[in-house]
Copies of this chain bind each other. A is one copy, B any other.
Amino acid sequence: MDLLKDIASLSPVEVRHLIRAGKFTKPTSGLASGYTQANLVILPKALAYDFLLFAQRNPRPCPILEVSDVGSRELHKFAQDIDLANDFPRYRIYRNGIFTDEVTSVADYWQDDLVSFLIGCSFSFESELIAAGIEIRHITEGVNVPMYNTSIPLESAGKFHGNMVVSMRPIPENQVVTAVNVTAAMPKVHGAPIQIGDPKSIGITDISKPDYGDPVTIKPGEIPVFWPCGVTPQNAIMQVKPEFVITHAPGHMLVTDIKNTVLKYE
């Protein structure tokens, strides 16, 4: 049986069941096409107010899709029949800011004081860009999107502060306006670009050397376009070195019941 071929046709809840049962532990790119996938940050309640406020003050890099109730492994809005401790294919555990474990379930790590934050992800707008006829270079080249630290300061909130991390996609000059329009309509998944064509102005000195992810080819006639990136909140959290944090493993997202199109009208 070709599991990957099979899984591509499953509904979001069927994907979650498969993952929950430990039968799928790979990246979620391409699963349940058209449905929103989400990043995860799980923090103890003691840090939840500062983090929620940090996200409120920095909605472009930190678009909150949903926040769980304290201690709950369920959601109200983005998924029914959901177990936050099992429905991501892979999780990462950090203690005092240090990455200690990568696991396929965090049921054994669960604490009654944990709060889960689901954060919007650029997967959602990339599928809309492709639908609009725009090539996504890192997908074509089969690598991770290039991401860069910038000099753009964030609004701090309590313990959380830092600069914005951005992702870059090379866009042909005559498609830049389309790329702006498509993504501006989706503020819940980072929205419009934050910079177009001038990496130095946001503190990026060498575009061939991303700080995270992989470099991609920028062809003649293409403009590097920069979007706020979901690595931003994870970065800000790690600088605080909290006693205990759980995140999803990169690329191993939650497949939700909400379609990307619906996010435009939230």
Measured CB to CB, the residues of A under 8 A from B are 48-49, 52-53, 56-57, 59, 64, 66-67, 69, 76-77, 155, 157, 266
Contact = CB atoms under 8 A, between A and B. Distances in A.
Nearest to A55: B56
Contacts of A266: 59
A59 B77 CA distance: 13
Nearest to A66: B57
Contacts of A67: 53, 56-57
Can you tell how many copies of this chain the complex includes? 2
A7 to B, nearest CB: 31
A155 B77 contact: yes
Nearest to A60: B266
A56 B48 contact: no
A218 to B, nearest CB: 28
Task: Sort A-B residue pairs by CB-CB distance and give the 4 closest, nearest first.
Answer: A49-B49, A52-B52, A53-B67, A76-B155
Nearest to A48: B49
A52 B56 CA distance: 9
A188 to B, nearest CB: 10
Contact of A64 (B49, B56, B76, B77): B56
A56 to B, nearest CB: 6
A28 B17 CA distance: 55
Contacts of A53: 52, 67
A67 B76 CA distance: 25
Contacts of A66: 57
Nearest to A52: B52
A240 B66 CA distance: 23
A52 B66 CA distance: 12
A122 B155 CA distance: 26
Contacts of A59: 266
Contacts of A48: 49
A157 B155 CA distance: 25
Contacts of A57: 66-67, 76-77
Contacts of A77: 57, 155
Contacts of A69: 157
A266 B57 CA distance: 11
A67 B54 CA distance: 10
Contacts of A155: 76-77
A45 to B, nearest CB: 8
